[in-house]
Every structure is written in structure tokens, then in C-alpha cells.
Structure 1
């Protein structure tokens, strides 16, 4: 089984050499686990203690410190790889091998290391504890929050009651050190100013905690749900802070590495393994020159030619005297006297064979009004010619001629689209389309939420009518329907409310989906919550003997006000190509109690399709033991589509 990554951070360190400070804090942390103090003068030190193993090695300008320790039937590996530079970098990762679930959090040496210098993520200062923000510092903090080079999330903690959020902020700062920044608003005045500058949809109020992803600009932000808040009521539930920390660390881990780190990390590992010389580190972070593609260069040259205008012809009256002949080392004949200007011959008219003037670039910044039209025309013509040529090779039958006619018709349609798009599309239209797309997605999510509320009321009315046997008027309406803002929040709510479900270790997969598309994740979360409610309602009925069929039958019938989901969302079996392959059944194997299966795990085939097609295509896998010993349903996975024959 591949190891599970619990933490990753890339720390930019301007101080050289890095190893002196990193060696000190890493070895001090290892000593708390029973290891002796490593000798800083040795380039490599290796120790073992109580089944754990410590390796600290370095060569000129780079190094790697690794601690492996046994935990919960598996192993936990903490690694710090570094390279000196201007600035240098340290990559810290924590990986776990084994099935036991562990919360993601920063290794114990990271806060101490952050105190040794001004460590950054490449854009903002990373600190080892929660910063307290006063009213006078709000404007400065907004510059930090909107820094375009910022890579890590920023958690803003609003004032709570009786100082409860002070302790929460410190716990979050310790858990996310290096992978995020935690800021606590000092008082209500600070909170009011911060929210006034952020706007209603992007603020944090009344004891809530909000995570601001990178990049961020409140003036242009169109998707507030990219920056999920957690309400005070949720914060009081068990595991709430761990959910926030998982989200922060997950976002930091999912971010692409800086290009210079991505280039130089393999070089560092080869040097440490002895497969490359130390000299290979020189310039390892410098990007290599991009190779020149002749075809692209030719296309670029043609396109650039369209962006220039011919130089205006110089009038005859502006012609100056001829340039003086070059001075020769040998004496030549004396030049004839120049004729007077009144008898100067007129310039010879240009013939049809004379070369046309070369295009001269427009340097005054004035736009060429025809450039967009001409570029589009070139693209359409090139596309049409290539299609005609490719299909013309297969011509020879009537059907081929028909296809060619259709392709030529398509070319005319493309030309018509060019005429519509090029003149009418002003600067920034692509941004406008993107904004409109995001707004439509948000509106869709709101419609889904409103529909869920109405469906909840209909279910309640149907159930009440079924129980009473006659119409009911004047009774209390059902309570406010829970509307999850994320898949992670759905899992937290399900664990606390749904007694007939057991939710497995799937938080990390759910958080990854929340970060992949924060807008659509609201819709997926709503569907997942409906499915969990239906599963819980079904398990309650079946375990008590009120229903004897399976979950598909429960949903297909849908009578009596029961909670159901559309049967089209259900797949109770996997295909034979999946079930007959260990490569595909292993990712679908999840833990269950020994009463359900003696091995403590089982292959779960039944799943809910939260999105039928597309990417991502979230799935929720479950095992039904509601009619068995435990009387419960076990949800093993909620996340992106698991691998199958189509994805591999």
C-alpha cells in the first residue's frame, strides 16, 4: 500500500548555511523521542531506538534528515530535505504507512525552526504561533492576505466568548505550522473593521473561524466558498479543529512546488545518493533555456508580422542629400560637381517590379485595428485547409464527398463565428465569461440548496400524513434543514447525528474534493448529505424489522415519506473488470468491525454517484450490515472517483 501523506510544507530560508539551525532543532526533537544527540561534525549519523530509526546526512550545501518511528501498527516517516541558496529551501513531509487513521499536523521541530530566521513561503512570513491582530494593524494584514506570491492558507479567528477562541487559535497554529498562518482578531472593534473591509460574504463573525485560500483578493473574489468558514456551533463539536487543520494542510500540500524547488529537488537527492557530484548543485535552481520549436517560431513570426504596419513612404521633397561615399585608402577620381537643386532630376517612379517597403513595427503603442480579424482569418483558413487535406486523402466514395461537404460547411460556420466574436469581443471579455460561469455555478448551488429545503418539507408532510391518516393543518413545521457548505462538514455532521451509520477514515479524500472545486463541492455535499440521511433512515427501518428489502428497493419504492435518493444515483455492484482485479478491489477495501468480517476489512462495491460523469466524479462507497449483527451501514469512502479500467 502506498504511504499516506499527512503533511508537506516548502519553507524558504534566506540564512546560510541552513543545516546549522535545522540540525539543532531536528536533533533536539529527536532527543525527545529517546535518541542521543547526533554529532554535528559528522556528515552522516544513523541511530536506532525502540524500533525507530534516525538518519541525518548532508553534503556541501544540501542534506536530508529522516526519522522513522512505529505507530499504531504502521510507520510514520518525517523527512526534511534542504538546499542552500538565495534564498534556500527546506521541504518537510510526513508520511504514514498502515491503515490506522492519524490527524494531519506539523512535526514537532517545525515551530522551533520557524523561530530561527525569517522563514517564508515565498511571499509571506511563516510564524510559529497565532498572531494577535489589533485594529491598527488590519490594513497591514490585508496586504499580507492579498499578497499574490502567498502559497499557504491563512486562518482568521474571530473573538469568541470567554477566551475560548484564544486556545483554539494556538492549537491551530501549532498543528499547521509551516503549512499555514493563523491570525486571531483581538476584539470586536478589530472584527468590525476587518469585516467592513472584506465585505459581507468574505468576513468572519461572532466566534467563527475562516480559512482564506491563496490567491485571494476581496475586490475580485467571485466564489466566497473557496474560503470556508466554520460556525461557532460546529467549533464546539469533537474533531472540528482537526477538520480545519486537515483543510489547511491539505491545501498547502496540494499546491504545486515552486519551480526552482521542483527543478533542484531531484538534483539534491541524486547528490545525497552519490549518483551526482556536488558541482551539480550549482545552478540547480536556475531554469534551463526553453528549447526553440521551429514550427512555433515560424508561426510566431507570421503572427508578429500581422501586428506591424508598413512604414509610410517618404515624400520626394523630404529626400536629403546623398550620403557621402566611404573613405577609401586608394585615391579615386574627383567627384563631379553636384548640379543645382533647380535642375535635380525627379525620383524615378516605382515600377510594378520594385520591392514593396518592408513592414516597420509600430513603436508608439497605437493598435492595429485589423490584427484580431486577420489573425482569426489565418487560423480559420489553416484549419479548413488541414481538414480538407486530411479527409481528401480518403476521398473516392460518395460518402467521403459528403463528409468533405460537411467539413467545408463547418469551415463556413467557423468563419461566421469569427465575424461574431472578433469585432464584438472587447478587452476583458474572457474574464467576463469566466465571471458569468462562476456566477451560474453559484446560482446552481443555491437552487440545489433551496430545492433540498422544499424536499425536506415535502418528506415531513408525507410522513406526517402517513402516520396520522388524514390531512394535518396548523401543526409545527419541521426544523431548519442542515445545509452543508463542504463535504468535510457533511462528515462531521453525519458522525454526530446519524446513529445508524459508521463513517470511516475518508476525511482526507473529502477535503481534497472540497479544495478541488469549492463551488461544486457545496452541491456534492448536499447530495452526500441526502444520501447519508436516506442510508440512516433505511438502516433504522431494516434493523428494526420494518423493512426487509435492500437500499435500492427502499429508494425505488419511496413511499410513506421515507428519505430516499434517485435510484439512478445508485450502483449496488461494480463491473466484473473491477471485481476480478486486485489492482481495483484494493482501493475499494475499507475497515469494518470483526463482527462484520473476520479480517476487519471488506470490499465495498455499493456506491452513490454524486456526479454521474465529468471530472471530478465524486463517489461514496458503503457496506450494508443493517440486517446483520451490528444493524448499521458502514461508509468507507467519500471522495473522487476510484481507479478502474477507464481511469488506468
Structure 2
């Protein structure tokens, strides 16, 4: 019989971090009461007194072992005039699958004698998940504990009140909203919904669910009506407004003359409708991921010292008949060293995660640089050709330099809206039911760039299909892009692939994932394997693709777009 081996674990994921200040009197005691009530609700019988005395309690229910513990302490530096009272309350949950969830609530009440700019008392809640190898990363939303805390005590991020509820803003309160948005001390996003008269109830439910999920790490706001939306637009300007039932996430660091307004992403009403609740989940995941990058408070080093001294005091009381004073002092020093080791271990883990994130960013940057270089070369070539054509026209007394291009369409910044525009304006294309997959792209920061590239691909396909219908082109779409005819709209040929690998084409699961609906006139089965695709992005994740079926030589004479969304699975991908 083989020896039992414990399940292999992976590094702990920090999945949620809330950090805010509170003017609540007796903050440690109030937090202990709320934590004890929350833990008791999870069948761990513990009271505030036990936690404040540095005690613990353990229980098992529903196949999960839970351990609640508390530690308190104080720190005083007479020379520097620094004083601080601190507490940490922790609940570890060990499910039967071998993973571990840890909720840590830290409280600090600093005192700075003789100074006016004393740091405000703060609350810091972390939720960590140590996964087993076969467990996928998860972001479950805000813990109930943070919602209980913010319902019981006042919590603020700079001037911004934190709450689990949706804040409804009327026209008269738009100034207050702008004050929150432009507060230089703000560290959490503000998510603002513009009115959607067509789906007001659905938007209200959507916003309420999102507000609950991001409690403590973002604030959700709804502009009450058209008057409030108009007043908001006037105050922030057209570069920062939100409109048409859409939602905009205003990140920290916003300024009135924002140099990068597109950093504050808009999610259109069309994208939200197409994606449904999954759009709220995607926004939630991005906000929670952003929360984990928050830095620790300046006074946290004092908290560690206070708590280490508090823990040492508990040990000394238990062993006071056995230890001499010198040994107690050594215990103090050992506890301090252990605290510093814990700090360094946590810092190393955080640095490892940061290194991995930097490597991902570096790869994305390299791919972006390659793509940008290609685009700049194309732009330089096209600009030179435009200048030459304008000069040739000028020799024939036709002067077009400086004139606007007639009938030019400015594509929207959302992929779903691009598909809607294509369906209305590109007659040689048939856009299939892919809005759901496309909406999954719109929740990402790169959505605007993807929308532009999807539009470029669609207009190239439409121009190709039009040429095929007119009989002026008889070759493939790839050949069209390799050597576009004069005036023909095309995308770089490196974007285009007319086939998949043999493995993808012969593996039933992979082939099925690329089979999309078409009219019966194209195929009696009403479904076609669409291996031809356009690479909207060359690498990274997400890695959007546009799959199509070329029926320009068939009965419809059109190109049928079956899918626009993230990369479909391959033998080596998902």
C-alpha cells in the first residue's frame, strides 16, 4: 500500500483586498463584534471577548474545518511621538478538497501626539485562496464580512463613501459625484451607469448585483434620469461622459483635463445586453484584480510591531511561572523576528506574482511593438501614395488635398456595436449570431483597438465580396490582401488564414467549436465548418479571432461571419 501523500498546493492567490479609513469610535471593539458574529454564522462559536483576548475557536461543519483567531496589541514610540492600537482577526477555512480560504481583518487606530495630520484609523480586509493544482482561480466577489462592516460603520476612501448599495445621483448631486471622481486621494474605481429608459429595471438589477460584488473595492453609481446625465456630461465634458444606457469605470487618478480619457473604459448598453450577467462578472473580476494591487498603509509596520508584542504578551502570561524576565524579553525579540520573517515571506510571494505580471506585460508590449511597427510602415507607405495621387490629380486641375473623405464611417469603440454597424452598412456580409462572444471582448481595456481592427477586417471582407460580385476579382481573400487592387480595402495578409491545422480540422471537438449557423441556401444542414479566420490579435490573452465562410462563389454571393470573439480552443490552447 502506497504511503499517503498530501495534495500538492500552488501559491496563495490574493483574490480580494479592501482598505479604507473610518472615524468609528472604538473601532477595534466594533470590528471584533462584527467578525465574531460573521464567524458564528459560519458555525464557529466565538465571541468578541475571546478574539480581543488573543484566543481562538475551531469547528467543523459541511465538510469544512474552520479556525477563528484574534490578536491585539499596542505600540508606542515616545521619541517619535507615534502610538498605535492594532488588531487582526482571522478565519481559516479548510474544505475537503485540500484548498484553504483565509479571511484576515486588520484594524489600526494610529495616534500622533502633538501633530495635526495624524493618519486616520483604517480597516484592511484580505481574502486569500490557496488552491490545489486541479482548482481553477476564482474571484467570488466581496465577502459578506465587508458588507456587514460597511453597513455598521462608516467607511470612506478619501471623500468617497463606501457602500454595498447603488448610489443614485440626481441633477442636484452631480457636483458631489464629480468631487468624488476628481478627488486626488481616491484609490478605488467609481462605476457610473447612464440612464437606460428601455431597460431601466434590468439595469437596476444589474447595477445592484455589481455593487454587492465589488463592495469595499469600488462604488457603483446610477445617474437617475436624462437631466442628471445631461448635467454630468456638462460638468465632465464629452471626453469623460457616459451615455446611452452605458456604463463607465472611472479609475483612480482622474483629472478634469484627462490626457488619456479612454483609460476609463465604457461598456455600451448593447454589449451589456448581449453578454448579460457575464458582463457584470467580467467587470467584477477586473475590479477585484485591481484591488489586490493596493499597497499596505504607511503605518502597517507599526501594526506588525504592535501585534507581535501582543502575541508575545499572551505567551508570557501563559508561561509566567516558568519563564524568567530575560526569557520573556527573548520571547519578545523572537516574536518580532518571526513577524519580520512573515513580512519578508509575504513580500517575496507578492514580488513573484509581480514578476509574472511584468513578464506578461512585457510579452504584450513586444507583440504590440511589432504590430505598431508594421502599422507605421503601412501608414508611411499609404501616406506617400496619397501624396503622389493628390499630386497626379493636381496636374489635371483636380485638387483634393485637405478635403474630407466622402462617406467615411467612423467605427464605434465597442465590438458589439461594430457588428451592428456592419450588419446595417456592409451589404456583402452576413453577420451571424456572435454578439454574445463579441461582447466578451468589450469588457477588456483593449476593446477599442479590437473594435477598430474588427471593423477593418469586416470592411476588407465586404470590399472583397463586392469585387467578386462585380466580376473584377476571382481569387481568394488572402490573395486580395496580399495584392489589393487599386482602391481596394484590405488588411495585412499576415492577419488572414484560410485553413486550420490538420489536428483542428479532424478532431471532432475542435471542429465543432468552429461550426456556425448559416442559411439553408448555403448548406442544407444550416451549419458550416468555418476554418478561415482573421487574427485580430497575434498573441496574448484574450486573443480575438474572426471566423468566416466565403460564399462569394456560391448562391448568396456573400461572406458569412460566424464568430467574433476570443481564440477558439485548439489542441494546445484551452
Alignment TM class, shorter chain as reference: 0.5 to 0.7
CA contact (8 A) 2:191 2:250 kept: yes
Query: Which residue does the alignment assign to 1:144?
Result: 180
- Please list the CA deviations of residues 564-612 of structure 1 after superposition, one character each: whole Å capped at 9, or x if unmatched: 9765999xxxxxxxxxxxxxxxxxxxxxx9989xxxxxxxxxxx9968x
Structure 1 gaps, min length 5: 285-440, 455-476, 490-495, 515-519, 532-553, 571-592, 597-607, 612-616, 623-631, 639-648
2:139·2:288 contact (CA, 8 Å) conserved in 1? Answer: no
Q: Secondary structure at the match of 1:167?
A: helix
Which residue of structure 1 lines up, in the alignment, with residue 268 of structure 2? 231
Query: Residue 7 of structure 1 is aligned with which of 1, 16, 22?
Result: 16
1:112-149: CA deviations, max 9, x gaps?
Answer: 20122221224432123111111111112211221111
What is the distance in 2 between the residues matched to 1:232 and 1:260?
Answer: 43
Take 1:499 and 1:138, find their aligned partners in 2: how far apart are those partners? 34
- Residue 93 of structure 1: which of 126, 139, 149 is its match? 126
Query: Which residue in the other structure is 2:434 paired with?
Result: 497
- Which whole-Å CA distance do the structure 1 matches of 2:437 and 2:261 have between them? 34
Structure 2 length as normaliser, TM-score? 0.52
Task: Return the structure number with greater relative CO, CA threshold 8 A, min gap 6.
Answer: 2
Per the alignment, residue 417 of structure 1 pairs with none
8 Å Cα contact 2:150-2:163 kept in structure 1? yes
C-alpha distance in structure 1 between counterparts of 2:435 and 2:492, whole Å: 17
1:620–1:146 distance in 2 versus 1, CA, 3 Å: closer
Return closer, same or farther for 1:160/1:266 CA change in 2, 3 Å cut-off. Answer: same
- Deviation per CA, 1:331-359, whole angstroms, max 9, x where unpaired? xxxxxxxxxxxxxxxxxxxxxxxxxxxxx
The alignment's TM-score, normalised by the length of structure 1, stands at: 0.47
Instruction: Decide whether the 8 Å contact of 1:133 with 1:184 is kept in 2.
Output: yes
The answer on whether the counterparts of 1:160 and 1:206 sit within 8 Å (CA) in structure 2 is: yes
RMSD of the TM alignment (CA)?
5.3
Q: CA deviation at 1:223?
A: 1.2
Instruction: Identify which range, 1-10 or 247-256, moves more after superposition.
Output: 247-256
Match of 1:68 in 2: 93
The residue that corresponds to 1:384 in the other structure is: none
- The 8 Å contact of residues 63 and 272 in structure 1, kept in 2 or not, is answered as no
Say whether 1:55 aligns with 2:94: no
Change (3 A) 1:525 1:66: farther
Aligned to 1:245: 284
Instruction: Decide whether the 8 Å contact of 1:168 with 1:241 is kept in 2.
Output: yes
Structure 1 residues 229 and 620: CA distance shift in structure 2, 3 A: closer
Aligned counterparts of 2:447 and 2:304: Cα–Cα separation in 1: 35
Q: Is the 8 A contact 1:609 1:620 kept in 2?
A: no
Q: Which SS does the other structure have where 1:201 is aligned?
A: coil
In the alignment, structure 1 residue 124 sits paired with structure 2 residue 174: no
Give the aligned partner of residue 519 of structure 2: none
Candidates 40, 55, 59, aligned match of 1:44: 55
Alignment CA distance shift 1:594-1:265 (3 Å)? farther
Where in structure 2 are the equivalents of 1:140-539 lying within 5 Å?
140-161=176-197, 162-218=200-256, 220-236=257-273, 237-238=275-276, 239-261=278-300, 263-264=301-302, 266-267=304-305, 270-271=308-309, 274=312, 276=332, 484=414, 497=434, 514=445, 522-523=448-449
**1:157–1:209 Cα contact (<8 Å) kept:** yes
* C-alpha deviation, 1:176, in angstroms: 0.8
Partner of 1:111: 147
What secondary structure sits across from 1:254 in the alignment?
A: coil
Q: Give the equivalent residue in structure 2 for 1:634.
A: 569
User: What do residues 44-74 of structure 1 show as CA deviations (whole Å, max 9, x unaligned)?
Assistant: 2121323232322122332232232438774
1:205 is paired with a residue whose SS is coil
* Equivalent-residue separation in structure 2 for 1:114 and 1:223 (angstroms): 33
Q: Is the 8 A contact 1:111 1:177 kept in 2?
A: yes
The separation in 2 between residues aligned to 1:208 and 1:279, in whole angstroms, is: 53
Contact 1:134–1:187 (CA under 8 A) maintained in structure 2: yes
User: Which secondary structure does the structure 1 equivalent of 2:156 belong to?
Assistant: coil
The alignment partner of 1:217 has SS state of: coil
Asked if residue 32 in structure 1 is aligned to residue 51 in structure 2, the reply is: no
Q: Is the 8 A contact 2:32 2:48 kept in 1?
A: no
The match for 1:331 is none
In 2, Cα distance between equivalents of 1:594 and 1:22: 56
What secondary structure, in the 3-state scheme, does the structure 2 residue paired with 1:267 have? helix
Kept in 2, the 8 Å contact 1:103–1:242? The answer is no
Indicate the structure (1 or 2) with the bigger Cα radius of gyration.
1
Q: Distance in 1 between matches of 2:454 and 2:307?
A: 43
2:462 aligned partner: none
SS in 1 for 2:44: coil
- Give the distance between the partners of 1:229 and 1:109, measured in 2 at CA: 30
